[in-house]
Amino acid sequence: MRGSLPLVIALVWATQAIAGPFDALLRRPPAISPQAAPLQTPLEYRSQNGQLNVTLEAKETDTMVGPYAVRGATYNGVYGGPVLHLKRGDVLHLKLINHLAQETNIHFHGLEVSPLDHGDNAMHMVQPGETWDYEIPIPADHPPGVFWYHTHGHQFAERQLMGGLSGTLIIDGFQDEVPATKPLTERLLVLKDFAPDKAGSLQSVPKPFHLTLKTVNGQFQPRIDIQPGETQLWRLSNQTANAYFRLSLQDHSFTIVGHDSHPLVNPQVTREIIIAPAERTDVLVTAGAAGSYTLVAEKTTTGPAGDMFGAQDLALMVSAVDSARPPPAPLAALSVSANARTSKPIPGDRIDAERMFTFSSDPATGLFFINHATFDHEEVNVSVPLGNIEEWTLRNSADELHTFHIHQVTFQVLSINGKPVPFNGLVDTVDLPIHGEVKVRIAFTDPLIVGRFMFHCHILEHEDKGMMQQIEVYDPKVGPMSDASASTHQH
């Protein structure tokens, strides 16, 4: 079935919205009115008594993105994606019904859970008209944070995800790990980017991405309310197929307190945050004097051979006294609880294997490779005995960025271009600089992760065109199911 069915996601233009308004939008976005609709959280589902039972119907959907009528593919009709709330120790029962004309499935990004059977099994495809029941027990000691789930249909992932097939999964408890954030108003900001072609079709994703609609929680240019002097916790999740976000907030700075769900050991104050596809960033924002401040997505580029994403005003932060709410309390000193598991480095006193992966592309064929091979559903590329702690060198030999992500585990970034990186929390995604390399340490030590899963570039155009490999973590008492790792070095 793979590759054989056309994806029918079309954009239906609002009568007045032929290319002109989109072009105008990208040259100079309209100023956002303080009367804009307030930022909302999309459809939410919360676990009860240790269970979350939810049915997600993947279907083509006509929806409004601001003033623009678009046709995407959504879960339960919500372009911004339903939000699933769970607690550690809960079990997620998720029924996926595929109403699309092509295969799809769901991957639970960042969760350290089983990849087998009805678990986080991104190898299993759900055919058109079929239903699949995911059962994801969240371990009692699982790190809390903002995770997300999305389609992982190889060769369809870019278009399906851009059309809307993603959502957020929050495991409660981040605020317990960073106690100063407990009293703060928490906001989820899901960043998406929709790029129709000029004919109004997402049948093929247009290049370059000169027409894009950037949204927050599926809303076009919403308003974010805050009081002067108030600090809020904004939890940003990049749920785009390909787009990097470079965010600035007029007259304000951000304090980064979390990355990829996990607390930063050392919070960072910055005027600008860059969020790669699939990454999550938790920031504190303290509002200045009463007034309106624009949250801007600045222009980004992924390199000479990559893509350009135009600037757009994303949202308007409106700072105003709200007499219905208590005046904001000062922020307590930031520190990370000793219980935060992902805030401890991975021990490096015993490294069981070192491997090298080169991320490359061929402009002539448009294919993308890891170690000179495109993804093969049938082939296990790396075989790892459970218990290994490994160091991987990830080399980018292309004229554009790649974004490394591996399922089932978090990892530690050791160095970027040979320069040691001070430990600042574990991550599940890392940017590979152009013609550069990143060294990471990964602990394949949790018995839950035994099975086959993937690592890949999270620029989904690249993943769809081959930049993905399969890994097997096996129980050494049983032995590997496959004969892999011939192409990588072990010692």
Residues at the interface with Cu ion (CB under 5 A): 402, 457, 459, 462
| Choice between 189 and 459, CB closer to Cu ion | 459
Q: Is 429 within 8 Å of 260 (Cβ atoms)?
A: yes
Structure tokens at 104: 């799809």
| Choice between 432 and 449, CB closer to Cu ion | 432
CB of 448 to Cu ion, least distance (A): 28
| Choice between 442 and 457, CB closer to Cu ion | 457
User: 339: burial class by Cβ within 10 Å (0-12, 13-18, 19+)?
Assistant: exposed
Q: What's the DSSP call for residue 250?
A: T
CB of 366 to Cu ion, least distance (A): 13
CB of 277 to Cu ion, least distance (A): 9
Q: Is 148 within 8 Å of 277 (Cβ atoms)?
A: no
| Choice between 363 and 422, CB closer to Cu ion | 363
Contacting residues for 246 by C-beta, under 8 A, at least 6 apart:
272, 273, 274, 297, 298, 299, 300
Greatest alpha-carbon pair distance for the chain in Å reads: 67
| Choice between 192 and 462, CB closer to Cu ion | 462
CB of 459 to Cu ion, least distance (A): 4
Q: Give the bridge partners for 370, in sequence order.
A: 359, 373
CB of 458 to Cu ion, least distance (A): 7
DSSP of 289-343: SSEEEEEEEE-EE--TTS-EE--EEEEEEEE---TTSPPPPPPPPP---TT-GGG
CB of 412 to Cu ion, least distance (A): 21
Q: Is 128 within 8 Å of 101 (Cβ atoms)?
A: yes
CB of 22 to Cu ion, least distance (A): 26
Q: Is 420 within 8 Å of 373 (Cβ atoms)?
A: no
Residue bearing tokens 């082939």:
379
| Choice between 160 and 342, CB closer to Cu ion | 160
| Choice between 280 and 465, CB closer to Cu ion | 465
